[in-house]
Chain A
């Protein structure tokens, strides 16, 4: 059983550029969530995808968007990068168990994004 993988590991962009981060879910999981973690803070929920549809969103602007593919892998896209977007971006996969409830999430190692 493979775990959650993310690519790339590190990324450096300049303000105003666009970036795409990728995530492969753990085998058997149908839900993927994305988080932003600033240094010294807990992860902040960006959004969650279930069966290729957005299924919950945190307080992030529309320039943060995502996709989930039929194989349950996922992308996080961020447009018009700002300096404050510099953070560790985490992907987590899980399985839905009931209406509005999911099993524990398993996290990938993250992508460290630096915006200059």
Chain B
């Protein structure tokens, strides 16, 4: 069964304490892996797209990497405003021109000042 698993479920860090979030996936026909940030009561906000193993993307304090089985979201020297739920999603080729998007359950990140 196609799955996307994120770990840890929740992470509490001190401001400035770097860490990584993990997203592991078991899907066939991967067409892309996406990272989103979601604040309470709002829709997810796009962060990164990764298409192939070895690819890396950076934005401010965030860096996303991709291997054949998992992706990491590294956060360097986080600030309280980085507190949010971080979602990973995988786009899987289904047939013809159709695709399916599978989201993980997210990691709730909390940064203490």
Contact = CB atoms under 8 A, between A and B. Distances in A.
A1 interface: no
Given A43-B44, A101-B93, 5 more contacts: A42-B6, A42-B87, A100-B97, A100-B98, A103-B49
A58 interface: yes
Could you say which interface size class chain B belongs to?
Answer: 20 to 34
Interface residues of A, number: 29
A106 B87 CA distance: 14
Interface of B: 4, 6, 29, 31-32, 34, 36, 42-46, 49, 87, 89, 91, 93-106
A55 B98 contact: yes
Contacts of A50: 97
A103 B91 CA distance: 10
Given A100-B93, A101-B32, A90 B99 contact: no
Contacts of A110: 42-43
Nearest to A90: B43
Contacts of A108: 43
Contacts of B106: 41-42
